[in-house]
Amino acid sequence: MVKKTSNGFMFLVIFLVLSAGTVFAAPPIKIGGLFSVTGPASFLGEPERNTAQMVADQINAAGGIKGRTVELIAYDTQGDATKAVQAATRLVKEGVVAIIGPSTTGDSMAVIPVVERAKIPLISCAAGIKITEPVKPWVFKTAQNDYLAVAKIYEDLVKRKMTRVALLTVSDSFGSSGREQLKALATKYGITIVSDDTYGPKDTDMTPQLTKIRSGQAQALVCWGTNPGPAIVARNARQLGLKIPLYMSHGVSSKKFIALAGDASEGIVLPSGRVLVADLLPKSDKQKRSLLAFVQEYQKRFNAEGDHFGGHAWDAMMLLKGAMERGGATPAAIRAQLEKTRNFAGIGGVFNYSPTDHSGLTKDAFVLVQVKGKDWVLVK
């Protein structure tokens, strides 16, 4: 009789333990993603989406965050601001604790009111300075600010004693922001803008603008945009025999640009995060370890090179991971810990957020790279 009672008690204990495990198993941490996976900005959004999922899987394989798995809920904005707002609203209703993305400046600006009302941290993967300036309590970014890219280009122009510059910028949010910074910083660097022209995001021939530039007094041309426009500019410039140096923005810092521009990409210079030249960096570089790990894992998983844009999502996921490990997985705790992030050596640079700086990077986050032999090399 005693033995029977003991067995019954043991079964009861086992049942209660299993039931408790079922009832109290920690739910996954939901992280939202807004990426331009299809559409004109797919070269940004696809590697961002891929990278975000890759990092989520790595976190889960290592045991999650404080024992909880991470669930990435990602939507394709198609580079459309209206779709981005709809998707952001949906993510808020689905209970995400933070959102990564969107991929473009226009989409990011459109969703900011949504996350600010909902008090959900947003880590944008876009470059426009207006995303985080002025500072917005719930909005951060990982893409380097466009004015830092402008500074890097202008420093090189001054070094080469070229002060007369032509601008050719795309007429969208990214191009408008870049154009604003190119004009604002010109005087500081002793640059004279001798031509200031634009092209449309869907334009397929920039020969008229380039013909005008060719007949002017410019010593260099700075083109600001994202693919495919800049590749068309490069090809048109080659066809016209334009002899002056051509600089591009960081908006094309991936092998995709070289593929689109072909032989016309040779010699083009642009500011980029270090990921394009990770293997050329000295061992002392603070980012090198993270860069190589990212590049190798992306290549292994997707059979493609990890690039500047996927790096924005890697940084965002790892910044969220660190914030949640330090402070918990509520939106308020994540926001507070993001703002306290110091010396995080990521893919885009070494991040130092603060209450007055939600972009967290300096111009040292950029290196100048040049296309040589259909590959990227460091500009010394």
What are the boundaries of each domain within the chain?
A: 29-144+287-361, 147-272
Same fold, 29-144+287-361 and 147-272: yes
Q: What is the largest CA-CA distance in the chain?
A: 105
> In degrees rounded to 5, what are phi and psi of residue 84?
-65, -45
Cα separation, 322 vs 338, in Å, equals: 8
| Amino acid at residue number 380 | K
Tracing tokens 């990278």 back to the chain, one arrives at: 51
Instruction: State the pLDDT at residue 21.
Output: 45
349 vs 93: CA distance, rounded Å: 33
What distance in Å separates the CA atoms of residue 165 and residue 148, rounded to the nearest whole number?
A: 18
For residue 73, the model assigns a pLDDT of 98
Closest CA to 169 of 218, 216, 224: 224
| Confidence at residue 363, expressed as pLDDT on a 0 to 100 scale | 86
Quote the CATH superfamily of domain 147-272. Answer: Response regulator (3.40.50.2300)
pLDDT of amino acid 302: 96
Domain at 29-144+287-361, CATH from 3.40.50.2300, 3.40.50.300, 3.10.580.10, 3.30.420.40: 3.40.50.2300
Outline where DSSP puts E strands in the chain: 29-35, 70-76, 98-100, 122-124, 139-141, 164-170, 192-199, 220-224, 246-248, 269-272, 344-345, 350-351, 367-372, 375-378
Report mean pLDDT in 10-residue bins for the chain, 380 residues. Answer: 47 47 72 96 94 98 97 97 98 98 96 98 95 97 94 97 98 94 97 98 96 97 96 98 96 92 97 92 91 95 92 98 98 98 96 98 93 93
Q: What's the CA dihedral at 146, 148, 151, 155 to 10 degrees?
A: -130
pLDDT at 7: 53
pLDDT of residue 113: 98
Return the SS3 of 241: coil
Buried b vs exposed e over 217-230: b needs ≥16 C-beta within 10 Å?
Answer: ebbbbbbbbbbbbb
